[in-house]
Structure 1
Amino acid sequence: MSPLLTVVAFTLLAGIAMPVGAALASIERIRPRWLETEFRHSAVAFGGGALLAAVALVLVPQAIVELNPLPAALWFFAGGAAFMGLDILMYRLKTSASQLFAMLSDFIPESLALGAAFAFGGRGAILLASLMALQNLPEGFNAYRELRGSTGYSRARIVLMFSLMALLGPLAGVSGYLWLANSAQWVAAIMLFAAGGILYSVFQDIAPQARLNKHWAPSLGALLGFMLGIVGHMLTVV
């Protein structure tokens, strides 16, 4: 398979996790009370663990090799500030799709970084693609529940929307592969920008949603998400 097709395949697989998560959320035969409480919170926490793994094991370690401390810190902070600005905008617009926008705001810069990572030889690219899929699955699940509960969209329409959004991954990945292949510092900047935004989202949105009184599985879900990141990192390094 050519490198360009590899980028398309991996970004598409990571994006497909969004409609898969939505399809799982649409299954009504699962016990509704359990689905709305412990499983949903565990899915949020699992996605948060995978996001932290992507930040700690892929995005930051690879990016800081290419940049000096000051620009690295500025790009990282800029990512968090940008995600905060998006958060404030969503609040003022009172949109019913905040989870959807959060999911896409993670997915697109990560896909750019993923395409560029493949251009540099693929070091850490497969791990990043795997962690993107792990985070997109619970994010797709929760975004579906949010849209289904606050809009009149049918199950099929929401899943179709998420399927079309998955195509943004290959578009961003191919762009990163073609335009950023010769610019290691820009790739590092995008990685740190995405990492800062992700870390902001974890503490602003994901961690508060994951907590559930008198239930302990959600916290274990976060641990499992990060654990899979560790295992993937060790396998790719070896």
Structure 2
Amino acid sequence: MTIEISNVITVIALTAFAGCTSFIGALISHKVQFSESKILTLTAFGAGLLMSAAIFQMVLEAEKDVGLVLTMISFASGAVIFAIADYLAEKKGGGAGILLGIGLDSIPESLAIGASIAAAAPITALAVIIGIQNIPEGIASYKEMMTGKTAFNNNPKKALGSIGIVSIIPIILGLVGLFYLQEMQFIISIILALSAGGIFYMLYYDMIPKAHKERKWVPTFGAILGFMLGFIIIRVSGGQ
């Protein structure tokens, strides 16, 4: 199948937005001092967005193509894979876990976005949701990097540079998906289900507990707003 230049441009634009917004969030956090409560609310908002994407743009889309059993197996496998990767990153330390959190959730989606563009599949909403979610994630991640807990302590250039490098990866993977995974809907659906399982692992292992560590009601409504916005984006874009 011939790859049109318009498809290449579309993939680059969508994956750049989905990935590079982490760097934008980090820049915002570098310039603006956010209180702990605002960070928690932003984290919850991002969690709500990711939940809507995982349910409506990943699990349901995958189930249409590969069936319930394979979708659930892939979903569970994704959670296990993310758990292992998270464990290895935490064991290594030095900020690896933070960078993993920034990039891991967008890696499989980037492959799926690239592969789906050639088939004109309704995947735009996924890129938009991931991109919006990465802004609060970048804000929170940069603040965490600037603490005494990581190797990035008091080194803005190192932190911003690391986030910037991770933010470029989705563009590369999106092009890989476009050129090598087109017309492989079965593989795309498995990737989406794996990613959804990984996202749910991150939500309940890290993001949601972190957002509610002070047990305040504002972060809860941040998550509700994020879920609502994600669902609206999916419906308006022609998804579920």
Q: After superposition, where does 1:36-115 map in structure 2 within 5 Å? A: 36-115=35-114
Decide whether the 8 Å contact of 2:78 with 2:194 is kept in 1.
Answer: yes
- What amino acid is the match of 1:159? L
Partner-residue secondary structure (3-state), 2:207: helix
Per-residue CA deviation, residues 142-188 of structure 1 (Å, 9 max, x unaligned), is 22112221334522332233223222111110111111112110000
What is the count of residue pairs matched by the alignment? 232
Structure-2 residue corresponding to 1:122:
121
- For residues 195 and 30 of structure 2, the distance between their equivalents in structure 1, rounded to whole angstroms, comes to 29
Decide whether the 8 Å contact of 1:99 with 1:142 is kept in 2.
Answer: no
- What amino acid is the match of 1:104? G
Structure-2 residue corresponding to 1:200:
201
> Which residues of structure 2 form unaligned runs of 5+?
none
> Which residues of structure 1 form unaligned runs of 5+?
none
- For residues 91 and 57 of structure 2, the distance between their equivalents in structure 1, rounded to whole angstroms, comes to 33
- For residues 96 and 170 of structure 1, the distance between their equivalents in structure 2, rounded to whole angstroms, comes to 23
Structure 1 stretches (4+) deviating beyond 6 angstroms? none
- For residues 180 and 145 of structure 1, the distance between their equivalents in structure 2, rounded to whole angstroms, comes to 37
More divergent stretch after superposition (211-220 vs 135-144): 211-220
More divergent stretch after superposition (131-140 vs 186-195): 131-140
Decide whether the 8 Å contact of 1:67 with 1:188 is kept in 2.
Answer: yes
- C-alpha RMSD of the superposition: 1.7
TM superposition score normalised by structure 1:
0.91
Identity %: 28
- For residues 99 and 140 of structure 2, the distance between their equivalents in structure 1, rounded to whole angstroms, comes to 9
Q: After superposition, where does 1:207-222 map in structure 2 within 5 Å? A: 207-213=208-214, 215-222=216-223
Structure-2 residue corresponding to 1:136:
134
TM superposition score normalised by structure 2:
0.90
- For residues 223 and 89 of structure 1, the distance between their equivalents in structure 2, rounded to whole angstroms, comes to 31
- What amino acid is the match of 1:134? I
Decide whether the 8 Å contact of 2:26 with 2:142 is kept in 1.
Answer: yes
Task: Report the alpha carbon displacement of residue 46 of structure 1 after superposing the two structures with TM.
Answer: 0.9
- What amino acid is the match of 1:136? N
Specify whether residues 214 and 58 from structure 1 end up closer, same or farther in structure 2 by C-alpha distance, changes over 3 A only: closer
- For residues 8 and 96 of structure 1, the distance between their equivalents in structure 2, rounded to whole angstroms, comes to 28
- For residues 78 and 187 of structure 2, the distance between their equivalents in structure 1, rounded to whole angstroms, comes to 14
